[in-house]
Amino acid sequence: MEHTFVLPNSGHNYDAKASKMGMWLFLYTELLLFGGLFIVYMVYRSMNPDAFLQASLNLNVWMGTINTVVLLTSSMTVAMSITAIQLGNSKLSLQLLLLTILASIIFLIIKYFEWGAKIEHGLWPGMEHFLSLSNGEQLYFYLYFFMTGLHGLHVIVGAIFIIVVMNKIKNKKINKDRYQLLENSGLYWHLVDLIWIYLFPLFYLIH
């Protein structure tokens, strides 16, 4: 008689690899999206270097710096949460993910006040003061609001993703033997961090 041997957890390992591959493909499309926007930015900046420099002086470098530190810290807490779940410490993993959520909230609050200040000064596209700016400065703020707004949307999506993961950890659906979804949420969050690492110098550190 022939016997069929099935390796333990072989199905789970296959699902985990497929899940990670799917996430990497998704992240690749996201990189293409922002990569295209970065190219558009560089083209317009090369055409309007003085105008972009002048427009960048309206940004608050300190707010941008704080948000950079916040996101870098949140990437660290996500990575630590994955290590914690691998060691079987679900409680610590949840605590670290909660810190990540708090970091995302801090980031969005700072961005809210930063955007609010720009709108108050009439720098939102279509406002009276905005229309008095040079074409190059207008292009800068078009790109600033669109690219940082799109990034902010990714922060919100990433935070929701992590909240879903936290709920699954509480229900023990994610544990030291099955944590691929947590790893995927970490990959997505690292992408959010990486994009900001490029946005920050492009918009805030021109001078």
Domain around 191: 23-204
Residue 7 lies in a domain: no
Please tell me what DSSP assigns to residue 176: S
Q: What b/e string do you get for 28-58 counting C-beta neighbours within 10 Å, with b at 16 or more?
A: eeeeeebeebbeebeebbeebeebbebbbee
- How confident is the model over 136-163, as pLDDT tens digits? 999 999 999 999 999 999 999 999 999 9
Residue 74 has which token pair? 């949140």
Q: What is the CATH number of the domain that holds 189?
A: 1.20.120.80
Total domains in the fold of the chain: 1
- Residue located via tokens 């293409």: 32
Residue-wise pLDDT for 40-86, tens only, equals 999 999 999 999 999 999 999 999 999 999 999 999 999 999 999 99
Entry pTM = 0.89
